[in-house]
Amino acid sequence: MSKTTSQENRPQRLLLSSVFGPFGVDDAYGRKENIMELFHNQVTKAQEMGSWRFQHRSFGLYFLAVNINADVTVLDFPTRKRFMRELKKGYDVVGISFITPNFVKAKEMARLTRQISPESTIVLGGHGAAIDGVEHLIDCDHVVKGEGIRWLRSFLGQDPDVPFVHPTLSIAERQAIFGVPFPGPGANLLVPGVGCVNGCKFCCTSHFFGRRYTAYLSTGKQVFDTAQRIADERGIDEFFIMDENFLKDHQRAQDLLAEMERHQRYFTFQLFSSAEAVTAFGVGNLVRLGVNFVWIGFEASGRKGNFEKNKGIDAKRLTKELRDRGIIVLASGILCQEHHTQENIQTDIDFLVGLEADLVQFMLLTPLPVTALYQDHRRRGLLRQDLPFEEWHGQKYLTFRHPEFPGDSAEKWIMAAFRKDYEVNSSSMYRVVETVFRGYRHLAALPRRDACLEVRMQQFRRRTLQYAGILPLVTRYAVNEIERARAMALDREIVKLFGEPSMKERLRRFIMLALAMRWKLRCRFFGDGIQPSTIVTKFKSDAKNIAAVSSTIVPSPSVKEPLETASRKAAVASHG
């Protein structure tokens, strides 16, 4: 259909949407195991009241929105009805981002788009776009596999090489533990690049981006300048670096540290990294850089279940060294690998539990589309064609035929692994308080500290006092007497060093206790499910400052959660 002159002259209108809710329920579109909470889904899921609860936005949609010249609406976590209502506004392009377990939802959204807004061009993206023949399985016009900013710019007839714009976003929404909200606005998101050159055979992130690394911020100065701008806008100096292996570029990390020391602006960072990259950079340098959390894929104990990135690494020693320096460690492992049997799988579970990391992720080996593992299993005829994509989430069924783990036996092993880590090492919240306290004591014991280490020591001190307030709840809801004794002893040790809690702190602890009791009642009568609120964010074309006007909608009347304010949801990004 030809466009009128006025239509040709107006900015193009795009709707970029995540899949619709509800999430984590068994229905025609999804499964109860695929909840919209990363940690509660696959890290702290067995830790009951003490599980870490938060939700991440669909970050990629915001990066696309701020990096094109168009009128863009980002619809995050919509209900099906809310998505349909938005379609009636008539968009030139409707982009749908999804992962493999949400295939059916993406298919339904494409169908609705054809029905309600037939003139819209439908574009599929996200990791679900890697599904073999997805362009024939879902009625769409384009499928974007890999980095999408350059593709979308080119598709819209815009210069793909204009400078990259980084949006200002919080890393997580509705952060809580024991029903108590995390204090403060939460860490900022920072994405220096996408992809990873390590190319582990199971890693969909590495293979999705062609086993290459695409840098958005290629120098330490660019990372520092971006962090400084975002920190000034949000008034917080903590960042989660969403980069598959940030320390792999050793020089960029060193230059970032040099910039912080030169400007005396000492940010703190949470990041992903391989063990070999951590070792090469040095734990001492991590402390100076301000890394207070690192997610490491240790995967397995032996040579058969491990990868080149862990060759020659003493995982237990590295974990202890990191925690002794105050760096929280999330150790990731893979169960039901091809070499695993009913007899030897416990060895790898014991290895991961024995690391004594602050947090442990257990995932079932899952050959996702685009990975080398998937291609290998398909060639060998091992893929389970009978298993719908809704089950490809790595927490219940194996997506390939494994002779040692038929039926639901894989789920039994993974749940037992989570439970053992909880019972042996106590709650992750207890471990985190202990780690931060260890970091403070290490720096306080040094005979000399330069300006950088002095700042880091004070940061550890503040976090210790802040986190220690949760210890009475850890004690009250302890998994066993071992954890109860540990939490009480740690609380006494902190009080001995820093003094008794002030009246203000005592009041804070009382309020936290009340909130925890309220959360316990809520879980008893309504369950612990949390549905994310719908976030609508609008970006205007040709704006010097792209203001994101946001609102929230409670997605389900059955969810007894307060409506969050628009100001908390506001995201502001600037063109460089």
The owner of tokens 């059955």 is: 558
Q: What is the pLDDT of residue 306?
A: 66
Phi, psi of 288 (to 5 degrees): -65, -40
Considering the domain architecture, whether residues 150 and 263 belong to the same structural domain is answered as no
Considering the domain architecture, whether residues 128 and 218 belong to the same structural domain is answered as no
Considering the domain architecture, whether residues 134 and 82 belong to the same structural domain is answered as yes
Q: What is the pLDDT of residue 8?
A: 59
Considering the domain architecture, whether residues 287 and 258 belong to the same structural domain is answered as yes
State the residue range of the domain holding 478: 443-499
Domain annotation covers residue 156? yes
Neighbouring CB atoms inside 10 A of 384's CB total: 16
CB 268 within 8 A of CB 276: no
Considering the domain architecture, whether residues 403 and 292 belong to the same structural domain is answered as yes
Considering the domain architecture, whether residues 382 and 334 belong to the same structural domain is answered as yes
Considering the domain architecture, whether residues 76 and 160 belong to the same structural domain is answered as yes
What's the CA dihedral at 294, 444, 430, 419 to 10 degrees? 50
Domain annotation covers residue 265? yes
What's the CA dihedral at 376, 382, 386, 392 to 10 degrees? -50
Q: What is the DSSP letter of 391?
A: G
Q: Which amino acid, one-letter code, is at 160?
A: P
Give the integer Cα–Cα distance in Å for 430 and 220: 34
Cβ neighbourhood burial of 98 (10 Å; 0-12, 13-18, 19+): buried
Report CA 127 to chain centroid distance, whole Å: 14
Domain annotation covers residue 525? no
pTM: 0.91
Give the integer Cα–Cα distance in Å for 361 and 213: 24
- With CA atoms as reference, report the closest residue to 122 among 130, 114, 132: 114
Domain annotation covers residue 270? yes
Domain annotation covers residue 521? no
Considering the domain architecture, whether residues 155 and 241 belong to the same structural domain is answered as no
Domain annotation covers residue 281? yes
Domain annotation covers residue 511? no
Q: What is the pLDDT of residue 184?
A: 66
End-of-domain residue from the set 425, 456, 490: 425
CATH code where residue 221 lies: 3.80.30.20
Q: What is the pLDDT of residue 199?
A: 82
Distances (CA, A) of 158 to 14, 85, 538: 14, 29, 20
CA atoms within 13 A on the CB side of 233: 21
Number of domains in the chain: 3
Give the integer Cα–Cα distance in Å for 187 and 574: 19
Considering the domain architecture, whether residues 15 and 133 belong to the same structural domain is answered as yes
Domain annotation covers residue 29? yes
CB 352 within 8 A of CB 413: no
Q: Which amino acid, one-letter code, is at 410?
A: A
Q: Which amino acid, one-letter code, is at 9?
A: N
Give the integer Cα–Cα distance in Å for 12 and 28: 34
Considering the domain architecture, whether residues 361 and 312 belong to the same structural domain is answered as yes
pLDDT, tens digit only, all 576 positions of the chain:
344 434 556 789 999 999 999 999 999 999 988 899 999 999 999 999 999 999 999 999 999 999 999 999 999 999 999 999 999 999 999 999 999 999 999 999 999 999 999 999 999 999 999 999 999 999 999 999 988 999 999 999 999 999 999 999 999 988 999 999 987 678 999 999 998 888 888 888 888 888 889 899 999 999 999 999 999 999 999 999 999 999 999 999 999 999 999 999 999 999 999 999 999 999 999 999 999 999 999 998 877 666 778 888 999 999 999 999 999 999 999 999 999 999 999 999 999 999 999 999 999 999 989 899 989 999 999 999 899 999 999 899 999 999 999 988 999 999 999 999 999 999 999 999 999 999 999 999 999 999 999 999 999 999 999 999 999 999 999 999 999 999 999 999 999 999 999 999 999 999 999 999 999 999 999 999 999 999 999 999 875 344 344 434 434 433 333 323 222 222 222 222
End-of-domain residue from the set 393, 425, 457: 425
Considering the domain architecture, whether residues 542 and 404 belong to the same structural domain is answered as no
End-of-domain residue from the set 455, 482, 499: 499
Considering the domain architecture, whether residues 273 and 399 belong to the same structural domain is answered as yes
Q: What is the pLDDT of residue 9?
A: 67
